[in-house]
Structure 1
Amino acid sequence: MVGIDVHTHAEISADGHPSLAAELEAGKAAYFGTDHGQVTIDEMASYYRQRQLAAVVFTVDAQAATGHPPIRNEEVAQSCARHPDVLIPFASLDPHRGRDAVRQARTLVTEYGVRGFKFHPSLQAFWPSDRLAYPLYEAIQELGVPALFHSGQTGIGAGLPGGGGIRLKYSNPMELDDVAVDFPELTIICAHPSVPWQDEALAVAGHKPNVYIDLSGWSPKYFPPQLVRQANSILRHKVLFGSDYPAITPDRWLRDFAQLEIKEEVRPLILKENAVKVLGLDTSGRE
């Protein structure tokens, strides 16, 4: 296994239910310029296996804010379990679900083998530092798995009237500073180059030992220079390969990453070794 992509999306369920409402999905496709159709988890497994890559797979539960039911976490986990050589299941729980989310988190990890949780503050319409989410964070910390948070601008809702109701303010990575302080044993992954808050993301990751950054959602050729500098130096053990597949393919991401001015000794850290540590895998990339 040559790399671990820590950021990919389950887009459609076995019975054809999409992860996003049609309007938001169309807006996202226009934003990223993609017309790939919706990829099944089994198709994702084949894609990654052919490239000798592993992938973290998740959906987003934002039903309280959007009214759209998510793909079931149990289905994502069971689908990934058919491909344990290449797929690593994460789950997503809406913090607005309260105690039910806490109960589900424990069940998903202990009974379904989920290895982490994805949050999208803008889509889920909550501040990460809001105490409503704290019981869920506490459970995730106790379970010993990571929490991955979208940060910065999002393609979801981009170009739609009112941004499709999606508010960018919730995804300022400085919000994660409080979470990192209050849950020091919780591994936090701040997803994406955090435009327009890149410096905030770097500051939090540099200051808090439990905060990491994934590099998904952007082609590496567009990475802010300060992100590249710190990935090459003081944050070399804190940054992770992520594509945002299928919106951005690993083929494109890796091609552009090869042209980035990254030190040769740092490349394997970003592509695989840091993720092995964060996800609690062995050196072969699996549990």
Structure 2
Amino acid sequence: MTPAATPAINVDELVAIDVHTHAEISADGHASLPPRLMEASAKYFGAHDHRQPTIDEMAAYYRERRMAAVVFTVDAEHATGHPPIANEEVAGACARHADVLIPFASLDPWRGRAAVRAARRLVEEHGVRGFKFHPSLQGFSPDDPMAYPLYEAIEELGVPALFHTGQTGIGAGVPGGGGIRLGHSNPMLVDGVAADFPELRIILAHPSFPWQDEALAVAHHKPNVHIDLSGWSPKYFPPQLVRYANSLIQDKVLFGSDYPVITPDRWLADFAKLEIKPEVRPKILKWNAARLLGLAKEG
């Protein structure tokens, strides 16, 4: 089955494609996370003046910078008890700004068959172009067979699955980490998913501290696995990540910011100072994502 129609994005005119941004507030003011977890995340990132832009505001922000952005929220209601922002709202808002925004959805795998049905509906009726998972926040191990029917549906739909990996600012400093278990976001747990679903295109989100070597191993070994560079300023990237991005996995590394907690302005300014080969830089900033998202065949 083919994905929904390609959004009206002119890749040639873009400076970059940001594959990792968050819809943190709904049109009626509902936040994507409970207040104590949102506050912990803002503190972790040093975002003292952090505000939650609407999706319409995000579109204006990225349009002004001649960038496109993947937008998603996280459905973690089973673990947190907090209702998510509706995927349909995210998709609808992105559709109003199809020249710059690309909608991903998030489904809690604990929803079982309901999640599978929702995945198909969101792609086929709402134009969703991928799915975001946050195993630590959602309280599941990526290789749990419980989630496999959902992966199977996503694989059949032909869209990517993006997994948070490594440390998270969500729950940081809260007693018990807010109940969030970091071990669920070890990228080696996604390796089994990549093996069992060889046609499922996977993105490992973030430099995967403290499992960076594991993430690089998985991305190098599994043809369908990519890495996005969101959530960290490039000046803090571990040297092995820069080395692999420049060589062995140069076609599988993607620009992501983690907006709004990290702005693309800050990320790109630091990335410009990084020792990345001239021929690799445009791949990371735009062309790898364009191919993965079906926006371009070559680059």
Matched, 1:216 2:230: yes
Equivalent residue number for residue 178 of structure 2:
164
Q: What whole-Å deviation, never above 9, does each CA across 1:47-72 have from its counterpart, x for those lacking one?
A: 00000000000000000000000000
Q: Following the alignment from structure 2 to structure 1, what is the Cα–Cα distance between the partners of residues 118 and 297?
A: 30
Q: Following the alignment from structure 1 to structure 2, what is the Cα–Cα distance between the partners of residues 248 and 29?
A: 10
Matched, 1:2 2:15: yes
Q: Following the alignment from structure 2 to structure 1, what is the Cα–Cα distance between the partners of residues 273 and 71?
A: 27
Matches within 5 A, 1:1-287: 1-34=14-47, 35-282=49-296
Which consecutive unaligned segments of at least 5 residues does structure 1 have? none
Say whether the 8 Å CA contact 2:171–2:178 is kept in structure 1.
yes
Q: Following the alignment from structure 1 to structure 2, what is the Cα–Cα distance between the partners of residues 37 and 194?
A: 26
Q: Following the alignment from structure 1 to structure 2, what is the Cα–Cα distance between the partners of residues 282 and 232?
A: 22
RMSD: 1.1
Question: C-alpha displacement at 1:212, in angstroms?
Answer: 0.2
TM-score for the superposition, normalised by structure 2: 0.94
Say whether the 8 Å CA contact 2:287–2:298 is kept in structure 1.
no
Q: Following the alignment from structure 1 to structure 2, what is the Cα–Cα distance between the partners of residues 15 and 276?
A: 32
Q: Following the alignment from structure 1 to structure 2, what is the Cα–Cα distance between the partners of residues 284 and 108?
A: 28
Q: Secondary structure at the match of 1:137?
A: helix
Identity %: 77
Q: Following the alignment from structure 1 to structure 2, what is the Cα–Cα distance between the partners of residues 144 and 263?
A: 31
User: After the TM superposition, which parts of structure 1 deviate over 6 Å for at least 4 consecutive aligned residues?
Assistant: none
TM-score for the superposition, normalised by structure 1: 0.98
Q: Following the alignment from structure 2 to structure 1, what is the Cα–Cα distance between the partners of residues 15 and 40?
A: 33
Amino acid at match of 1:31: Y
Amino acid at match of 2:40: G
Q: Following the alignment from structure 2 to structure 1, what is the Cα–Cα distance between the partners of residues 244 and 174?
A: 34
Say whether the 8 Å CA contact 2:15–2:66 is kept in structure 1.
yes
Q: What whole-Å deviation, never above 9, does each CA across 1:67-112 have from its counterpart, x for those lacking one?
A: 0000000000000000000000000000000000000000000000
